[in-house]
A and B are shown apart, each in its own frame.
Chain A
């Protein structure tokens, strides 16, 4: 049973049961401190785990992230680019110099 911000990828990778959430990365179960939202996600995941009737069952949670997209983006972006992103940016710069 997978709770994911990328349900289409989970389908491609043939995850057997999928709950899709439109949340920022790092926030699979919702907003910090929001027990109601977290419970909605976990309960849906558990009910799908136990009740899905077929392979590939996917349910997308009908909950909108309660903050503007720009804030949501900031909520998951690391403070500095990851090492692989830094390496790719350096390679791109070198190719264009």
Chain B
């Protein structure tokens, strides 16, 4: 779907979405890798809200990519600190209070995604009055 971006970047609120399987280690469950191991064609369709200013460290739960660099520097998938810096420099109006993380390997029919995950994420972003989203498939 195409829509022109009506606002100026310096007056816009931006969110980030990564499919690298990131989650807050201190208070969120990891994506369900045990079930994927048991059912290899299934992928966890849930999602996580990642605060723009994270307290504690991010974990990675994704069986299809190497997590070493992601654990060393999650900004390579979800550059929340960099976006906040661009806000402080005035290039971007605001960052979403919470960004979004999913795990990119999904059941090819995408039923849960279409019916539950995607609508929930859209609602979550609208509730934060986000103007634009930068998606980064892992």
A residues near B (Cβ < 8 Å) are 1-6, 16, 25-33, 35, 38-39, 42-43, 45-47, 49-52, 54-56, 74-79, 82-84, 86-87
Contact = CB atoms under 8 A, between A and B. Distances in A.
Contacts of B41: 84, 87
A76 B86 CA distance: 28
Nearest to B3: A16
Which residue among A28, A33, A86 has the maximum number of chain B CB atoms within 10 Å of its CB?
A28
Interface residues of B, number: 43
A26 B69 contact: yes
A75 B66 contact: yes
B105 A16 contact: no
A38 B77 contact: no
A28 B36 contact: no
Contacts of B133: 1
Contacts of B86: 42-43, 46
Contacts of B92: 46
A29 B65 contact: no
Given A32-B69, A82-B105, A83-B36, A3 B134 contact: yes
B64 to A, nearest CB: 5
Given A26-B138, A84-B40, A42 B79 contact: yes
A86 B105 CA distance: 15
Contacts of A32: 69, 72-73, 75-76
Contact of B66 (A35, A78, A87): A78
Nearest to B83: A42
